[in-house]
Amino acid sequence: MEPASSKSTADALGSDFFYGWDLLYKTVDGIIDKKADVLMVLAHFLLTKHYKFRCVGIGDDKTLPEDEDGSELMPDHWNGDNTKYSLRYVHNKALYLLLGHITEDALIVNLLDINTKNVSNICITPESLVVEVKGTIAKVMPTATDIVERFRKELCDPVFTGNSREATTQTQTSQSPAPTTDPLRIGEPRRPGSFMPHGFEPRPFGFPDVGRGDLDPLGRGPGNLYSFGPNSGLARFDPFSPIPPRGPGSMGPNPDHMRPPNWNPDYYM
């Protein structure tokens, strides 16, 4: 049986959903001394009654004794630590850990399936959810049905359906990223396995391989001398952009470059 979120608080309190809470709470109300204790008891109640868990003690031991049947009662010393909770449960011969940690103003609760490693978590604020620690459930937690619904959706369902944070992370990291095409790329990227002098990185964004000979101590590469046409000879070219077009009528170098052989200043007049 699972909680019905459509029911109002009054309807839920008057139904069989919380039947057994009074008896359970009666066994622990004498040792409850903080509001976070009440929320842990509610999580225990949900697991034992509506998910058929059986509590097998406290601690974080990940081994399950074969002769341990478990109980619907809270184990001894379950709230002995002022800031932490660690409860062990068995369900269908599998071991689960219910862990709680108190921060300054919140209670963080985790449910861990030891076999599958699925883990869930929920962060709740005891001060806003628990009015007092003594009395009926309506008096102690006026929004008990809402809290239970959060427990079901954020704590229980992720572990049982496998949609836990760890499972999601493993799925994302195991998938290879989809290849993307850069619309601003000029030319093709460097082919894997092509030669690259030691100490030099691949050409970024496919820019022309101009000037590498001036940087390579072994003199490999064309350097900054570049031919702008079959009859223009060589001219120094600084690669501020992709290589200009070759052939007759192509644009020559900027005025601040070294003049090519047979330079005619009247050409542009």
Domain boundaries of the chain, sorted by first residue: 9-170, 207-237
Report the CATH fold assignment for 9-170. Answer: Protein Transport Mog1p; Chain A (3.40.1000)
User: Once rounded to an integer, what is the mean pLDDT over residues 128-147?
Assistant: 95
Contact 209, 221 (CB under 8 A): yes
- The top-scoring range by mean pLDDT among 106-115, 174-183, 260-269 is 106-115
- Which of 108-117, 227-236, 258-267 shows the lowest mean pLDDT across its residues? 227-236
Q: How do residues 225-256 score in pLDDT, each as one tens digit?
A: 555 566 656 656 555 555 555 555 555 555 55
In terms of Cα–Cα distance, which of 159, 169, 208, 171 is closest to 187? 208
- Please name which of 60, 52, 55 lies closest in space to residue 40, comparing C-alpha atoms: 55
Q: What is the average pLDDT score of the chain?
A: 75
According to the per-residue pLDDT averaged within each range, which of 119-123, 170-174, 263-267 is highest?
Answer: 119-123
The percentage of the chain sitting over the pLDDT mark of 90, rounded to a whole number, equals 48
Spatial neighbors of 233 by CB under 8 A, at least 6 apart, are: 227, 260, 261, 262
Quick: pLDDT tens for 159-215. Answer: 987 554 443 333 344 444 444 555 555 444 444 444 444 444 444 444 455 555 555
CA–CA gap between residue 68 and residue 98 (Å, rounded): 17
pLDDT computed for residue 64 by the predictor: 82
C-alpha closest to that of 234 among 213, 252, 215: 252
- pLDDT of res. 256: 54
| Average pLDDT estimate for 215-223 | 56
Residues in CB range of 90: below 8 A, 6 or more apart: 53, 54, 56, 64, 68, 70, 96
